[in-house]
Structure 1
Amino acid sequence: MSAAASVLRIEKLSSFDGDGLRTVVFLKGCPLRCQWCSTPESHEMKTDFGNDKKKCTGCFECVNTCPEQAINYDIKKEQFTTNMESCSDCKKCIDVCLEGSRIFWGYTATADEIFKEVQKDSIFYYHSGGGVTISGGEPFLQKNFVRELLKKCVFQGVNTAIETCGHVLWENIKFVLPFVDTLFYDLKHMETNRHKKITGVGNGLILENLKKIDAGPQNFPIIVRIPVIPTVNDEDGNIRDLGEFCRNLKKLKEIQLLPYHRFGIETYRKLSMPYDLETLCSPEKEKMEYKAALLQDMGLTVKVGG
């Protein structure tokens, strides 16, 4: 029986998450709560429900239909909210919303089902040198599904990549690695207390897992991704400390500096979730080039952007 997973969405013809044109499979569930996260709908493994105020007419059909009484109207926010602890994922509120203001993120699918979808773009992989990337959320949380899907890809000659935050059991990572061609590994901060403040967890397990991967038998390139978030983790000392750590990685191909963006703010609103960095602006091009130069001066290969 094919392994199942909680899938957020599938993005096709992507050119940002590996070589060539790629199909990116985003999974739900993440152990981190980064302050700047642009995909809050990926935090939980189960389906998330939200409401688009721009489309909502206030008919209250969703409230009246919900068998669990999980939907309420927040007068202060002027928005319908969903108590996900009570929600049974029946989606009856979606069915009765004629305006399409009720939204859900996530669905269950098997590795067989996703692989059939992946195969539809095989001609693009062949001509562009692309393939399949699994991202999240955190893919290694759903190791059985990920291993099966990547194994199917490898046996069909499809290039594979995976992006991880690294805060997972080593056994999960080790289980999947034989079927990975490229590994994207996210690093945020080298000081563990600061890391915990901005992501919800310390960095000990993350750094230890990366060391184990680098020392392992697989001979794939590692690409370290560092989000550059103004006032949060962009101090020169942290950038240099991250660079010093990366200098010791034998499999390191390059470091990618990812400038902060505000693309996820609207999703926070639809989910009725607070977003503490709403007034933060993206770093200027010159600042990103300066941060890149700090690492390049250490002999590292650096790219700004994914």
Structure 2
Amino acid sequence: MPQKAIDEEKRTVRGTIFDIQRFTVHDGPGIRTAVFMKGCPLRCPWCQNPESVRKTPQMTYFPMQCVGCGSCVKVCQQKAIRSTGKNLVEKINLTLCNHCGECAVSCCSRALQLIGQSVSVEEVSDTVMKDSLFYQNSGGGVTFTGGEPTYQPEFLTEMVKHFKKQGLHLVIETCGMFPWDSVAEALSLIDIFYLDIKHVNDEKHQRVTGQSNAIILENARRID
């Protein structure tokens, strides 16, 4: 494939994130930007970011913020939202909901929010590189977290290569549940690994997360 075509293909690689937090100081050395990626193979009951488990965007509802304007019911073409007599949202039928986000756009009080958005590497970079001076002066950089960053291997790899070319310090927070070869190139460029092993006992690990820890422990041995 010609180099021009390869470069064009890289520009079209997209992934799903649910947040980019600037000026974080707890996710690695220095001042950092944390990129929160959607999707995780584990189902930990204590998950700090349960909205990250599903890989695709999803609708969420915060009932205390609903002001009863009824705009969401009017714009929902799937008829997935049921309201009370005072227009307060009573229920969202997730079987009917296609997570298009139109109701969230119409919601003036942000009671309805679409968690997750499709972005390109360049779009993430536009936010991350705003603070490049802070990274340089503090020894900071970018932290890939989630969710499980390796759950989107192609997108993670392209982001890692992009930011490494910018000279940034890179950290990944991972549960370790991934095929090594799928992200080997990205991992070779990571400066610090934060590996969160849920339990070393396989039976207990399966009971609380729904997955065996065999591949996790194998990957832990490969990180040097």
| TM-score bracket relative to the smaller structure | 0.7 to 0.9
Alpha-carbon distance, 1:139 to partner: 0.6
CA contact (8 A) 2:101 2:113 kept: no
Letter of the 1:21 counterpart: I
| Residue 45 of structure 1: how far off its partner (Å) | 1.2
The TM-score with structure 2 as length reference comes to: 0.86
SS of the residue corresponding to residue 5 of structure 1 reads strand
Alpha carbons 2:17, 2:117 under 8 Å: kept: yes
TM-aligned CA deviation for residue 41 of structure 1: 0.7
Which one scores higher on RCO, CA 8 angstroms, separation ≥ 6? 2
CA shift in 2, pair 1:22/1:80, >3 Å = farther
| Residues 18/148 of structure 1: CA separation in 2 closer, same or farther (3 Å cut) | same
**Residue 117 of structure 1 pairs with residue 130 of structure 2:** no
Aligned partner of 1:273 in structure 2 is none
How far 1:15 moved relative to its partner? 1.0
1:8 Cα deviation after fit: 0.8
From 154, 159, 163, the counterpart of 2:164: 154
Residue type at the aligned position of 1:12: R
**How many Å apart are 1:51 and its aligned residue?**
1.5
Which residue identity does 2:157 align to in structure 1? R
State the match for 2:14 in structure 1: 4
State the distance in 2 between where 1:102 and 1:168 align: 33
The answer (yes or no) to whether the contact 2:172–2:194 under 8 Å persists in 1 is: yes
Residue 108 of structure 1: SS of its match in structure 2? Answer: strand
Post-superposition Cα deviations, 1:122-141, rounded to whole Å, max 9, x if no partner, equal 00000000011100111111
- 2:73: which partner in 1? 63
Three-state SS of the structure 1 residue aligned to 2:188 is helix
Q: Does 1:41 align with 2:39?
A: no
TM-score between the two structures when normalised by the length of structure 1? 0.64
Structure 2 residue corresponding to 1:15, chosen from 7, 19, 25: 25
Shift of 1:205: 1.4
- Alignment deviations for residues 154-204 of structure 1 (CA, whole Å, 9 cap, x no partner): 112111111111112222231321221111111111111211121121211
Matches within 5 A, 1:171-210: 171-210=181-220
Deviations 1:29-59 (A, max 9, x none): 0111111112111011111211222121344
Where does structure 2 lack aligned partners over 5 or more consecutive residues?
Answer: 1-8
- Kept in 1, the 8 Å contact 2:157–2:183? The answer is no
Q: Aligned residue pairs: how many?
A: 211
CA contact (8 A) 2:99 2:114 kept: no
2:81–2:89 CA contact under 8 A, matched in 1: no
Q: Which residue does 1:296 correspond to in 2?
A: none
Deviation at 1:73, TM superposition (A): 5.4
- Summarize the Cα distance change of 1:71–1:168 in structure 2 as closer, same or farther, 3 Å threshold: farther
Q: What secondary structure does 1:144 align onto? A: helix
Q: Is the 2:175–2:198 Cα contact (8 Å) retained in structure 1?
A: no
Q: Kindly indicate whether the alpha-carbon contact (under 8 Å) linking 2:169 and 2:191 is maintained by their aligned counterparts in 1.
A: yes
Match of 1:102 in 2: 112
1:63 deviates by: 3.0
CA distance in 1, matches of 2:30, 2:178: 28
User: What letter is aligned with 2:196?
Assistant: D
CA distance in 1, matches of 2:26, 2:103: 35
Distance 1:81 1:142 in 2: 31
Partner of 1:274: none
Q: Give 1:264-303 correspondences, 5 Å limit.
A: none
The aligned residue for residue 132 of structure 1 is 142
Aligned CA-pair RMSD: 1.9
Structure 1 segments, 4+ long, off by >6 Å, are none
